[in-house]
Structure 1
């Protein structure tokens, strides 16, 4: 009995001490909506469960923020998280805070100091140099590969015509986007043999699932605890499989560049009639390495894995949602088909640079889908000082979560029809102008996504090649979602392909 009383006294004192440490933060956010906190774990009990429970939690937060028009506060242990959905607040946070919270350390075990997980100082040192690989002129040079991969996908879909509904993401899209990012960003053309294997893809997804499951379990956050678990051993195994591929790509590209220097020829394998077509992301990193010795071998491999993650996972998820929405919105699909026919006629020619700006309704569909179904539901930033927002002051030490989902579903931002799928809204010049700053899917501020132009161009190319050949049918209006690293469907996400009239 004595020991129980002593333990209770120690826990009570510890709880009081921890509350005192966060007293200033609690007083500054006390007027904001939150859930009841439990001792030591705070609101962590709300996260218990699977990814579907996490999504339901996100929806509930969004509803409360929409009603109160204020940020929402979550306590994970003694860490304060302030959930934001207002675009102006989001830009203020994103422009003032470059550092990411300790949650990103879970991914740094794999991605080290890659662009997504790097501390602010390293990110600032590298981003301008890396962004060159995804500039407008570079993306235009990628169009032949985008067309090639889009045609390849279109041919694969031919076997699905009039068959049973299937999971487009798992069966085709994940591999299509992975091949595309490897060819354009890494200069790796023997993709099927070297990268897109079942073992690699299983390991890649395994890493993402393990990171997310750890993030939801506060007891696994301490590094020394996590290293004792079976999950850590599996994580290391999956990382080893993925990094073996990164090693192989790096060794091969280095060898090619050395041979090119020796032979005194161009340092790019992407040549046509003797002319260099484009310089890849990996080429740029390796050239930087010749003069910038802060780029270690480990850092270069981390950037390879980062670009595969950012370019493959998010784009495949976005394209999947676009096809699903087209499948349950036949009027939208027909308007897109009409636009494609007006631009391309009966020709099956590839998408050219000058076609991109003419695909206005196609672009509207892309943005409307990204608004309602952001592949990544939000990003985090660590506050290193107090900062005043519209309805609160973010205290130093708090973590700000910019909710792409909350912003995209807000009637205060998008109007009374915010929850309706309506691509036409983007054809209104006023909405399109507002959307440029209010659509947060590509993030906002200084650490916004450098691959927006790349992603939108690839999406347009895929849609042109597929929609002009096939009709798509889905029941996505009944879709249920979950959250792991990305926002994923768990039901209502099967797609059926039908041949268009007159297509042989």
Structure 2
């Protein structure tokens, strides 16, 4: 039940109780009259509700209380801190999956001992993500926070709105469209390696920064037809504001956590704290940028000064969406912000982990370098040679290294859904409001799905016996790999 509904119910009950008390037992009226009596009853009702919701219901009455569950847990936070925030995120869920005998579900006590379940089997995951996907939505408070930054883009919308957006966005993410962008990826990769080559005298290089800058340039060109030139100029106003919003720090983490537990208006009204104001200001600036970008692109593609041939050359995703005429400029702005958030930092993070694994495995690094040098032109001759998708897609070890990195370090290690109506999951009927914690980290590293070497970096599992690349890694089910989720709400940009 929502915080607002509970609060209203307790207030209403307290008022009714106060009037009934004065009518049937006027001798109990305290000094101060009806108001003081109502206030006392409100406090009493809050305490009684807390005992009911936090102790009596979850431990003695919940229909999910017989599902296998980990031991221990906090009186106030249950197992939520371990399930959601332990580092690395998702590792605790993996341990529970391995240690607790279960039939596809593990029950945990979430914040204030509310019910939550962790799916652990392919069948249960398929039910949630494919068969009944619209019975499970993102948690309202998470959506409320993210909507201030992303608007109503594909990631956050639900139901029929999501179906409409996905249907009209899919053509812009077809395999052919993505393959046409390979030369963009290649040229920016070459530009970065040339810049790094000039830094060999440095004692150390912060590679994560370079990964962020190159992927920002790539998403700019491929997604919006705009080169941010972040590799050469990291001080672009938009880039700085975007990075400021995403840069992790303790204050932002506290702000996000408070928004999960309490209404946003209450958190934003905390005195002498500038984080909410900064958050609102930056998100407003980013929204204005995205809107102006979308409006200008529409005007450009509608201009008679631009020839038909020039319009056809525009293969960036924003131009394709403008040409489709399926979205207004405001709706396009929301998709721009969504693509930035979903396609930039995720790719940057994966590239960083990929380099990390290659540093730990020099033999694989050497073999990969040999494969690439035998098949692709040198980045030093960028002006005279480019590459094709066919050249990249046939590189078996490159395919293995990338897919194994994505398996071991999914960019979203834990995500949460909420049952919006009573719905059957396995042998249990989930009440509306039950949280479903899906952990790609735990599934992707499960020995049950990947074997005893599940925790090892083994690109060879993505290479067939004949030396060709595969997309399964030897797993028996698609639901063994949850990096991009599955079903109607899977990542549209996974290609």
For the criterion TM > 0.5, the same-fold answer is: yes
Q: Offset at 1:415?
A: 0.5
Residues 1:299 and 2:335 are matched in the alignment: no
Residues 1:178 and 2:216 are matched in the alignment: yes
> Aligned with 2:336: secondary structure?
helix
Structure 2 residue aligned with 1:355: 391
Q: Offset at 1:218?
A: 5.9
Structure with bigger RCO (C-alpha 8 Å, 6+ apart): 1
CA distance in 2, matches of 1:177, 1:386: 42
Equivalences for residues 12-411 of structure 1 within 5 A: 12-18=47-53, 26-34=62-70, 36=72, 41-43=77-79, 54-56=86-88, 58-70=90-102, 71-77=106-112, 79-95=114-130, 96-98=132-134, 99-102=137-140, 103-161=142-200, 163-170=202-209, 172-189=210-227, 191=229, 197=235, 199-208=237-246, 209=248, 212-217=253-258, 221-229=262-270, 230=273, 231-259=275-303, 262-263=304-305, 265-266=307-308, 276-289=312-325, 292=326, 295-344=327-376, 349-389=385-425, 393-411=429-447
Unaligned runs of 5+ in 2: 1-29, 31-35, 465-469
CA distance in 2, matches of 1:25, 1:234: 44
Does the 8 Å contact 2:291/2:330 carry over to 1? no
Q: Offset at 1:27?
A: 2.5
> Aligned with 1:28: secondary structure?
coil
CA distance in 1, matches of 2:291, 2:229: 14
CA distance in 2, matches of 1:302, 1:222: 23
Does the 8 Å contact 2:230/2:236 carry over to 1? no
Q: Of the two, which has the highest radius of gyration?
A: 2
Does the 8 Å contact 2:217/2:228 carry over to 1? no
TM-score (norm 1): 0.76
CA distance in 1, matches of 2:438, 2:493: 19
Identify the range of structure 1 (300-309 vs 68-77) with the bigger mean alpha-carbon deviation: 68-77
Q: Offset at 1:362?
A: 0.6
CA distance in 2, matches of 1:248, 1:283: 14
Identify the range of structure 1 (212-221 vs 120-129) with the bigger mean alpha-carbon deviation: 212-221
Equivalences for residues 418-497 of structure 1 within 5 A: 418-428=454-464, 431-432=473-474, 434=476, 436-453=478-495
> Aligned with 1:401: secondary structure?
strand
Does the 8 Å contact 1:29/1:73 carry over to 2? no
Q: Offset at 1:217?
A: 3.0
Does the 8 Å contact 2:217/2:231 carry over to 1? no
CA distance in 1, matches of 2:231, 2:191: 16
Q: Offset at 1:35?
A: 5.6
Does the 8 Å contact 2:419/2:434 carry over to 1? yes
Does the 8 Å contact 1:130/1:281 carry over to 2? no
> Aligned with 2:285: secondary structure?
helix
Equivalent residues, number: 435
Does the 8 Å contact 1:101/1:382 carry over to 2? yes
1:451-502, Cα deviation, whole Å (9 max, x unpaired): 122xxxxxxxxxxxxxxxxxxxxxxxxxxxxxxxxxxxxxxxxxxxxxxxxx
Q: Offset at 1:216?
A: 2.5
In the superposition, relative to structure 1, how do residues 215 and 26 fare at CA in structure 2: closer, same or farther (>3 Å)? farther
Identify the range of structure 1 (122-131 vs 229-238) with the bigger mean alpha-carbon deviation: 229-238
CA distance in 1, matches of 2:235, 2:122: 40
CA distance in 1, matches of 2:108, 2:180: 45
In the superposition, relative to structure 1, how do residues 9 and 397 fare at CA in structure 2: closer, same or farther (>3 Å)? closer
> Aligned with 1:417: secondary structure?
coil
CA distance in 2, matches of 1:346, 1:207: 36
> Aligned with 2:63: secondary structure?
helix
In the superposition, relative to structure 1, how do residues 25 and 178 fare at CA in structure 2: closer, same or farther (>3 Å)? farther
TM-score (norm 2): 0.78
1:103-132, Cα deviation, whole Å (9 max, x unpaired): 222101221210111122211011121121
CA distance in 2, matches of 1:335, 1:192: 31
Q: Offset at 1:379?
A: 2.6
Q: Offset at 1:234?
A: 1.4
